[in-house]
Chains A and B, each alone.
Chain A
Amino acid sequence: MYKAYIAKLSYDFKTLRNLLAKATPPRSGDYLAGVAAANNLERVAAQWVLADVPLKQFLNEALVPYEQDEVTRLIIDEHDSVAFAPVSHLTVGDFRDWLLSEHTTTEVLTSIAAGLTPEMVAAVSKIMRIQDLILVAKKCRVITRFRGTIGLENRLSTRLQPNHPTDNPAGVAASLLDGLLYGCGDAVIGINPASDNLEATSRLLYMLNDVIDRYAIPTQSCVLAHVTTTLKAIEQGAPVDLVFQSIAGTQKANDSFGINLNILHEAHLAALELKRGSLFDNGMGNNCMYFETGQGSALSANAHQGLDQQTCEARAYAVARKFKPLLVNTVVGFIGPEYLYDGKQIIRAGLEDHFCGKLLGLPMGCDVCYTNHAEADQDDMDMLLTQFAVAGGTFIMGIPGADDVMLNYQSTSFHDALYVRQVLGLRPAPEFEHWLQQHGIFNADNQLMAQRELPALFKPALQKLTGGGNG
């Protein structure tokens, strides 16, 4: 069925899974897995064949067997055929043209999201250039709420990530204060704990709750411990805003993370029950999950099931959307060069993930990042950051000086967020924007105010930390 005769060579790709892998733009993880195209011609041949595959075929041919994989079951069982109807007659190639059409508006894209499967959007992304990924993603609008409103048009939010190598409270507080004074933190204040245990997690949760409460910051906290640790913290009465978990696109990979759909369901219910979100339009701000993903995570757990890493990543979004998250973050360059070798691969992967997530209806952020053994540098990150923001990305990370001293990788800084907001005219979430202006951190044009002295709100905190006066 998946055959092509091209440039005097015939190709038979046998299965949809194989076809998708061969059609994927080159990346080291797919070579490592042994699923990538052998050469450029085979890749393009696969793309030609893929363009002719009807979208309906993705509902008939499971990439990982239905009986073996609960992610496949989730995708098939929850597929909305009514929402799918407007595009159900299209092939992958026609779907690309349809997405690019000016008649395919934000409203249309929103209405079909539940009718699309991860495999459909992964497939179409493989025959799209970067400008296509940007153009279509920018038309998508996904709005979520907890204490603030995330994802409105011309807004870009930031996760303040005040990590410290030993979770030292003063060290965390120092980075936290620095971030707030640079206007960062409307998506979430989220800490990666150095040690994943209940005691450390609870201590950080109480600390963040105290800060958000005392300064009345319209944001939410998260300690990125394992979901089972957070569940225990909830049981003990700790103030949990968002429940975090890393997720992947196969049951086997999720197993290796120590999770399944039931555990996530339980955690979701527990967080909803706390009702810690604000009231919006007489309803709760009830998006209370925070998920992280990243291409290559399934392969690194040897659980990719023969899928290419980008398709596998898109399947993780099916898991995410089941639980109506406030934020989903693709941690694109963290995994290392054996999955994404260089800046070029990282940039494309970040934009693919954003496109796929948005099309499926998720509030997609991107940890624009790299490690020191990847063939990448700050210029590459500037390109991804800028392109991601042009594409309407929901949020990015904010880390002091772009250097995470706990996780030992480089992400985006507070300054980076200010840069990209400045050049593209983007604003923080409205509630947080108001708070920043009210306390003299931003002026009415959302520029940092010149600080002759510390905003009054923060003086006591600084005095408490440093044990005395400060300039």
Chain B
Amino acid sequence: MADSNDLWHSLNQFTPARIAQGRAGMSQTTRNSLEFQLAHALARDAVNIPLDFVQLEQRINTLGYTTLTLQTQAENQRMYLQRPDLGRLLSESAVRCLQQYPNIQTDAVVVVADGLSSKAIEQHAVPFLNLLLPELQAKAYQLPPVCLIKHGRVAIGDAVADHYAARLCIVLIGERPGLSSPDSMGVYFTYKAKSGISTDADRNCISNIHNNGLSYDLALKKLLFLLNESEKC
């Protein structure tokens, strides 16, 4: 397959945009068409291939932390995509499961939700938790098990924080995949989260965590800054 031969291809150094692609007739070349399909396939798979929660639990347990896997009221992926409201509510069985655990006084909840990219969580959640959880423990925070949520939206963290009466709510979630970033993770921090009351405006978002985006270290630094600022109030 031929490469792009547009005379201005040197402009590629200035932008990640798909410029100077060349053409077949006046249409896209085979190479460019397939490159696009490849990127789209990765993004689609990140949305649609379910996260392996068993494996995720094991990996977090191996780090020495307990976990609890819960589901939202969005019963399947199709429903999850069409009904964001259901992805913000815990299923009946999840509520029962939580009630079995003592409602101890806690400071912070850490929630991991698949969101719109299972790939993002598979790649980035465990290494990020490995940096984050020791920091929280060093602050002598009381932490319940890390809650792993199937078909969750960001606001599902509020429901978990409610249950544990936790002051601090941290949610790791797979972000909507772009063509160039199928595995981007977001971290949301909400202070005094309240289910049904907290809005997007109450949340602090640290976005774009992936290999070519924001690094774990920098994301953690931002998160701890936000957390410390909230605790000063």
Interface residues of A (CB under 8 A from B): 28, 31-32, 162-165, 168, 170-175, 177-178, 181, 336-338, 341, 371-373, 377-378, 399-403, 405, 408, 410, 413, 415, 418-419, 422, 447-448, 451, 453-454, 458, 462, 465-466, 470-471
Q: Which of B22-30, B133-141, B189-197, B214-222 contacts A (4 or more CB under 8 A)?
A: B22-30
Interface string of B73-115 (1 = CB under 8 A from A): 0000000011111000000000000000000000000000000
Contacts of B83 in A (CB 8 A): 31-32, 338
User: Is residue B62 within 8 Å, beta carbon to beta carbon, of the partner chain?
Assistant: no
Q: A165 touches which one: B16, B27, B39, B81 (CB < 8 A)?
A: B16
Within 8 A of A (CB), among B174-232: 176-182
Contacts of B84 in A (CB 8 A): 32, 338
Smallest beta-carbon distance B198→chain A, Å: 15
Specify which of B6, B10, B36 lies most central, judged by the most chain A CB atoms within 10 Å of its CB: B10
Q: A415 touches which one: B10, B26, B116 (CB < 8 A)?
A: B26
Contacts of B28 in A (CB 8 A): 401, 413, 415
Given A372-B177, A408-B176, A415-B27 in contact, is the A401-B11 Cβ separation under 8 Å? Answer: no
Known contacts A462-B8, A471-B7; 10 additional CB pairs below 8 A are: A31-B82, A32-B85, A341-B81, A372-B43, A372-B44, A378-B40, A400-B19, A403-B18, A403-B39, A405-B180
- Provide the bound-state CA to CA distance between A371 and B81, in Å: 12
Structural contact, B26 and A337, CB atoms closer than 8 A:
no
Smallest beta-carbon distance B137→chain A, Å: 35
- Provide the bound-state CA to CA distance between A165 and B18, in Å: 13
Interface string of B33-47 (1 = CB under 8 A from A): 000110110011011
- Provide the bound-state CA to CA distance between A127 and B12, in Å: 48
Smallest beta-carbon distance B111→chain A, Å: 20
**Closest B residue by C-beta to A461:** B8
Structural contact, B17 and A175, CB atoms closer than 8 A:
yes
Contacts of A174 in B (CB 8 A): 11-12, 14-15, 17, 19
User: Is residue B67 within 8 Å, beta carbon to beta carbon, of the partner chain?
Assistant: no
Contacts of B7 in A (CB 8 A): 451, 453-454, 470-471
Q: B47 touches which one: A338, A373, A466 (CB < 8 A)?
A: A373
Structural contact, B27 and A418, CB atoms closer than 8 A:
yes
Contacts of A378 in B (CB 8 A): 36-37, 40
Interface residues of B (CB under 8 A from A): 6-8, 10-21, 23, 26-28, 32, 36-37, 39-40, 43-44, 46-47, 81-85, 116, 176-182
User: Which 8 residue pairs of A and B lie closest in terms of their CB atoms, listed nearest first?
Assistant: A401-B18, A408-B178, A171-B15, A174-B11, A418-B26, A372-B43, A178-B19, A170-B14
Smallest beta-carbon distance B132→chain A, Å: 26
**Closest A residue by C-beta to B46:** A372
28 contacts between A and B (CB under 8 A): A164-B17, A165-B16, A171-B17, A174-B17, A175-B17, A336-B176, A337-B81, A341-B81, A371-B176, A372-B46, A400-B18, A403-B179, A403-B180, A405-B17, A408-B179, A413-B18, A415-B23, A415-B26, A415-B28, A451-B7, A458-B8, A462-B10, A465-B14, A466-B10, A466-B11, A466-B13, A470-B8, A471-B10
Structural contact, B177 and A168, CB atoms closer than 8 A:
no
**Closest A residue by C-beta to B35:** A401
Contacts of B179 in A (CB 8 A): 372, 403, 408, 410
Structural contact, B36 and A403, CB atoms closer than 8 A:
yes
Contacts of A410 in B (CB 8 A): 40, 179
- Provide the bound-state CA to CA distance between A377 and B44, in Å: 10
Structural contact, B8 and A177, CB atoms closer than 8 A:
yes
- Provide the bound-state CA to CA distance between A120 and B137, in Å: 62
- Provide the bound-state CA to CA distance between A407 and B36, in Å: 17
- Provide the bound-state CA to CA distance between A352 and B16, in Å: 34
Contacts of A168 in B (CB 8 A): 14-15
Q: A401 touches which one: B13, B36, B81 (CB < 8 A)?
A: B36
Structural contact, A338 and B17, CB atoms closer than 8 A:
no
Contacts of A32 in B (CB 8 A): 82-85
- Provide the bound-state CA to CA distance between A183 and B68, in Å: 56
